Amino acid sequence: MTPDRWQKISRIFKSAILLDNEARAAYVESQCGRDESLRVEVEKLIESHGKADADSFMNGVAAEAVAPLLTDSEARPEILNKGQRFGSYIILDSLGSGGMGEVYLARDTRLDRTVALKVLSPDISEDKRRMQRFRQEAKVASSLNQPNILTVFEFGEADGLTFIATEFIDGETLREHLHGKRLGLGEIVDISLQVLAALDAAHEARIVHRDIKPENVMLRRRDHVVKVLDFGLAKITEHKSPSAEHDSDPEAITQFRTAPGIIMGTINYMSPEQAQAHKIDERTDIWSTGVIMYEMITGKIPFSGSTTSHTIVQILEKYPVPLTKLVEAPAELERIVMKALAKKPNDRFQTAKDMLGDLRSLQKRVELDAELKQTLPLITRTQDDLWRQKKRVLVFALLGMLLVTAAIFAVNIWRSSRVSNIPPVTPAQRTLTYWITVQKFKNNNPYQDPFTLAGEINFEADYRIRVNVRSPQPGYLYILNEGPASGTPEYNVVFPTSTANNGASLVPASETILIPKTSWLRFDTQQGIEKLWLVFSEDVLAELEPVKQFASIETGGLITDPALNKSIKDLLDKHSSNKPEVEKGESLTTLKAGGKLLIYAVKLEHH
């Protein structure tokens, strides 16, 4: 239809629909004259107008009309089916799913080659600027052409989803390879050397992997060549914090964008500086390689707690059990792993090349040593073995290793005993570490795994939370919730309650207190900022002791005594100028206040 014709029709139409049926027919006829087809078109349009009304066609807005389809099937748009076309790829099979999205075996129809296609979940790819940085890094890493770095073919978008196409490796991940079996020394060293070779090349190009773990190390079936996956990918899931490395966007706000599963899977391999969201560099990868090596050698993950937060505490504080206490392993191997696992980056190997060098020397020595050349699994140490081990240690002493190793152990053991026995108390200072566990709920049932965070995110209405606190010092702890309502606040007592810490306000040193212990805190329907006042005192606080009596599930701990609310407010106001120093890590926040009393409001925004 030409615009002219259209205008003619619309001119007649707009007047015609204002008329009643009889007048309308006459009007249309008079306007169209002998142009029969014009009359037909106008009449059809008028008819459609009536039907559209009757059908409620386009009543409301598009978003409402399509809402049903935005619900179920759109919940995981990144799930593709076998045989489905996706951009210029055809999905052949699902290879599994990771925290960042789904991985498929796919055929590139343009080049007729098989690729691994990782489709990033929309949550991950949403942040365009971060995606851009990730692309750059991954491209650079791939372009290094190092045989142990997985080649990236393409980044792209199709159907509104971001994907990465990489070479497909027929093999298994180190995680799968380790499953239920122990590797021989030769294989452990061989795998480690290849991982380090990949890291060395990447580090030379100033690229830090940030997420070295057994899931990101592939072993090719046919020749056991190791491929390190996902260079740069960790960049898009990293959390931001004020102390994190500076980037181009200083206005970036702390955000928890990692899906719960990811942080759970990755945390064990995180370096101390990573766990605290401090500035990281190449040496974080050295640490993670050390963790992998420890795991391959002993079959145990060196830092592993019952929750993410416990694991983080271990990473920061615990010195792992020496390898030689668990298995028969060369002392030099032990030295290398422990050096990689030094808490301070300055105490580690400074480059992957250095570590590679030491490991290669060991490999040569092992190959020379007929006894060690056998790639039998490392034997778990038993009492009987101990004296034999002593003899072996002597052998290594001849190699000049014993003194070094012993010295390192001595230092480590001394350090670890110091950490566990003597709390680092500074006079007249209060220290309290807190973190928050979040559990999503759906239809009153837990939904997905809980995740932890150091502080403030926007909480949705169906998030329930738990507050975890821990201090190297004993003290009297009170936690009060102040809702977003204006006026004189009515506080809710959150701690002490009968469930957490058996109702006592005095909490012991170096013990993690879960509040509540077994259930969750939930927000009421009023939106806004909820303040969670943490009060931690060396002495008992007479003003706050009475709050216990209001701890009740029925009332949500609401303090109904106006006089008590007033005295709480006065106490909080009185100390409002003494703000504690806040060290915000990735998953923990540590508060330090001078004096005997620490008061801090955690602000939780919820919708």
Partner 1 sequence: MARTPPQHEITQLLAQWREGNQSALDDLYPLVYDELHRLARRYMSRERKGHTLQTTALINEAYVRLVDQKNVQWANRSHFFAISAQIMRRILIDHARRHQYAKRGGGARQVSLEEAATVVPDQSEELLRLDEALKSLAEMDPRRSQVVELRYFGGLNNEEIAGVLHISENTVTRDWNMARAWLYQQLTGSGAN
Q: Which residues are catalytic?
A: 211
CA-wise closest residue to 434 among 597, 558, 598, 297:
598
Question: For the purposes of burial, counting CB atoms within 10 Å of the CB of 462, is it exposed (0-12), middle (13-18) or buried (19 or more)?
Answer: middle
Rounded to whole angstroms, the Cα distance separating 283 from 402 reads 26
Nearer of residues 64 and 384 to partner 1, judged by Cβ: 64
Residue type, 568: I
Q: Could you say whether residue 86 binds partner 1 (CB under 8 A)?
A: yes
- The residues near 233 (Cβ < 8 Å, ≥ 6 apart) are 100, 134, 138, 211
Tell which residue, 285, 247, 580, has the closest CA to residue 434: 580
**Contact window for partner 1 (CB under 8 A) among 8-16, 133-141, 514-522, 550-558:** 8-16
Q: Does residue number 74 form part of the binding site for partner 1 (CB under 8 A)?
A: yes
Count of residues touching partner 1 (by CB under 8 A): 63
Are residues 115 and 167 in contact, defined by beta-carbon separation less than 8 angstroms?
yes
User: How far are the Cα atoms of 7, 295, 324, 350 from residue 320, in angstroms, in the given order?
Assistant: 81, 11, 11, 21
Q: How far is the CB of 15 from partner 1 (least distance, A)?
A: 9
Q: Single out the residue of 20, 33, 62, 180 in contact with partner 1 (rule: CB under 8 A).
A: 62
With binding defined as CB under 8 A, does residue 463 bind partner 1? Answer: no
Q: How far apart are CA 102 and CA 113, in angstroms?
A: 20
Least separation in angstroms between CB 87 and partner 1: 10
Q: Which of 26, 35, 73, 220 binds partner 1 (CB under 8 A)?
A: 73
Out of 23, 26, 67, 413, point to the residue binding partner 1 (CB under 8 A).
67
Compute the distance between CA of residue 269 and CA of residue 263 in angstroms, rounded to an integer: 10
Q: Which parts of 143-162 interact with partner 1 (CB under 8 A)?
A: 159-161
Q: Of these, 21, 30, 71, 577, which contacts partner 1 (CB under 8 A)?
A: 71
Footprint of partner 1 on residues 185-224 (CB under 8 A)? none
Contacting partner 1 (CB under 8 A), which of 8, 28, 32, 80? 80
Does 70 bind partner 1 (CB under 8 A)? Our answer is yes
Is there a cis peptide before residue 562, judged by omega within 30 degrees of 0? no
Q: For residues 148 and 107, give the distance between their C-alpha atoms in angstroms, rounded to a whole number.
A: 23
Beta 113-120 vs 458-459: how paired, if at all? unpaired
If one asks whether residue 368 binds partner 1 (CB under 8 A), the answer comes out as: no
Q: Helix or strand or coil: residue 12?
A: helix
- 115 to 134: interface string for partner 1, x by CB under 8 A: -------x---xxxx-----
| Residue 63 binds partner 1 (CB under 8 A) | yes
**Least distance (Å) between residue 132 CB and partner 1:** 11
| Interface with partner 1, residue 57, by CB under 8 A | yes
45 binds partner 1 (CB under 8 A): yes
Tell me the one-letter amino acid at 74: E
CB of 26 to partner 1, least distance (A): 20
Phi then psi for 102, rounded to 5 degrees? -100, 150
Closest separation between CB of residue 74 and partner 1, Å?
6
Kindly state the smallest distance separating residue 284's Cβ from partner 1, in Å: 23
Query: What is the DSSP secondary structure assignment for residue 327, as one 8-state letter?
Result: B
Phi, psi dihedrals of residue 99, rounded to the nearest 5°: -60, -30
Task: Determine which residue in the list 52, 394, 407, 509 makes contact with partner 1, applying CB under 8 A.
Answer: 52
Instruction: Report residue 515 CA to chain centroid gap.
Output: 22
**Interaction between residue 68 and partner 1 (CB under 8 A):** yes
Nearest approach in angstroms of CB 220 to partner 1 is 30
Nearer to partner 1 (CB atom), residue 69 or residue 370: 69
User: CA 330, CA 319: separation in Å to the nearest integer?
Assistant: 19
8 A C-beta contact, residue 39 and residue 68: no
Q: Which residues bind partner 1 (CB under 8 A)?
A: 1-3, 6-7, 10, 13-14, 17, 40-41, 44-49, 51-52, 55, 57-58, 61-75, 77, 79-86, 122, 126-129, 159-161, 249, 251-253, 255, 457-458, 460, 462
